[in-house]
Structure 1
């Protein structure tokens, strides 16, 4: 028994006529009648009986028709679901994100833009560092990453979403909070808290290198994973920490102050990352398009490219007319 037998049978049951069913199915009536006869012999029951010039279902035929409709509906739903997943309209996509980026930057805008493109796709956000994201992308356990660092792996592609200057976060009662200017040498005797080195290796390295270039040794007294705990320690004046200005804006804690450091020229970026081989996968492509839509950096690059292309066309037109 094949699916086409079920489709033929259900159509005949609805039309109550082999002739009308054959016309609707665009097949010849004789082969259709023969296939239904084969179906009855395979099942060992009569499915049809004559009624006037047409036919009607037997009791067994009615029971079988109800089941057949359910089977066909399930098959159609399964096919539609498979197509939806293949086209990026259905399924679930997993995004790894750096903790601390949820309520800042472009992550929420990215999710909102993706929701418009693929409203029926389930979205799962999993907190993980950039390094962990790269491993998860290679292993295929996530489809997209949102973090602070761009990978140096040729198998991974990234798009910069934002870039912001790193500065000093300290208590408003801290002695440095009243300074008009803060330099790295002012931190020589300060206790510094940072988030874990294994999560932010490049930030640690860049900070230490920048301080040493000014003859300063940063005293990193603790590495604190939980951001709320880190901020609490800064509030009570136990230490200072480094954050980007854009990150600081949503915190809005009256007991904390963000200050630029005159001779610290470190900018942190937020990037989205995906596997190069997945760029053509519909759901990943929708994420990439959503990221480009909401990224100010990507939008600026597109405008520059468009402007450059327009200028080049004008120059070519001028050369033709001259």
Structure 2
């Protein structure tokens, strides 16, 4: 028994007329009659009573009709869902992000992607840059917003999505707090709060290199695992720190943010994903690039 046998039977049962049912199915009447007879023979039941003028359902036929309609509905639903998954209209998109990406990039990307694909469930994971790279490489997440550059990793692709300046976070009342800008060399005698190299090796090394270029080795007082912790320790008076400019969006009380003179350090945010076969939801996400700013958007 095949699905087409059920479709043929349902058409005849609904029309109670072989010629009309055949026209509806776009087949010739003798072929339809043969298929119905074949179905009845396979079942060992008479589903239809017919003579030259009338077609009626037997008691078994009425029961079989209900079940056939249900089976066809399930089959059609399964086909529709499979097509939707293959087109990336339903499914799950597993995405990682580092905390600073919440300042514009992630909210904008999620909002636009959800507008385009409302039936795709998005599973988010807050990660460090190192964990983001590991989880993309392992397939635990499909993609991740993280800082660039990343550690060279075979099979990992990336694309820059935004840049922002680095500023210096200092306690309110600090000698630099009211300055319009600060020269990095002025931090030579300050206790610095830096991101832990075990957590963000590229970022840690970048900040150290900025200090070295300014002519001094940083005096690291504390190492932290996030910008939020860094500004919290700055507010506590334990030192000053490099932070992305986006930290000013939700500032810690008791912290002032001072720009860096000249050509300030820049942080690049990027999206990373694994090369090779990609799930449809990720292909759609990459194709629409929902993180990009629209014309006139601040």
Structure 2 residue runs without a partner (length 5+) = none
Please report how far the alpha carbon of residue 189 of structure 1 lies from its aligned counterpart in structure 2 after TM superposition.
3.5
Q: Specify the alignment match of 1:13 in structure 2.
A: 13
Distance 1:88 1:269, change over 3 A: same
Quote the Cα distance in structure 2 between the aligned partners of 1:22 and 1:212: 84
1:249-297 CA-to-partner distances (Å, cap 9, x unmatched) read 3114452111123377421011122334357x6433332243266247x
Between Structure 1 and Structure 2, which shows a larger proportion of helix residues? 1
CA contact (8 A) 2:161 2:291 kept: no
CA contact (8 A) 1:18 1:29 kept: yes
Please report how far the alpha carbon of residue 53 of structure 1 lies from its aligned counterpart in structure 2 after TM superposition.
1.6
| Pairs within 5 Å for 1:130-149 | 130-149=129-148
Distance 1:291 1:196, change over 3 A: farther
Q: Specify the alignment match of 1:320 in structure 2.
A: none
CA contact (8 A) 1:156 1:276 kept: yes
Quote the Cα distance in structure 1 between the aligned partners of 2:249 and 2:158: 26
Quote the Cα distance in structure 2 between the aligned partners of 1:241 and 1:264: 18
Q: Specify the alignment match of 1:110 in structure 2.
A: 109
Distance 1:100 1:50, change over 3 A: same
Distance 1:226 1:253, change over 3 A: closer
Given the alignment, which residue of 278, 285, 288 partners 2:286? 288
Q: Secondary structure at the match of 1:175?
A: coil
The alignment yields a C-alpha RMSD, in angstroms, of 2.6
Q: Secondary structure at the match of 1:116?
A: helix
Quote the Cα distance in structure 1 between the aligned partners of 2:242 and 2:290: 28
Quote the Cα distance in structure 2 between the aligned partners of 1:235 and 1:289: 42
Q: Secondary structure at the match of 2:237?
A: coil
Q: Secondary structure at the match of 2:45?
A: coil
Q: Secondary structure at the match of 2:99?
A: coil
Q: Secondary structure at the match of 1:185?
A: helix
Q: Secondary structure at the match of 1:79?
A: helix
Q: Specify the alignment match of 1:315 in structure 2.
A: none
Distance 1:32 1:243, change over 3 A: same
Quote the Cα distance in structure 1 between the aligned partners of 2:119 and 2:276: 24
Please report how far the alpha carbon of residue 147 of structure 1 lies from its aligned counterpart in structure 2 after TM superposition.
1.1
The count of aligned residue pairs is 295
CA contact (8 A) 2:227 2:243 kept: no
Quote the Cα distance in structure 2 between the aligned partners of 1:255 and 1:50: 89
The yes-or-no answer on 1:126 pairing with 2:125 is: yes
TM-score by length of structure 1 reads 0.81
Distance 1:180 1:123, change over 3 A: closer
The yes-or-no answer on 1:177 pairing with 2:180 is: no
Quote the Cα distance in structure 1 between the aligned partners of 2:135 and 2:63: 50
Farther off after superposition, 33-42 or 72-81: 33-42
1:115-138 CA-to-partner distances (Å, cap 9, x unmatched) read 222222211111223333333333
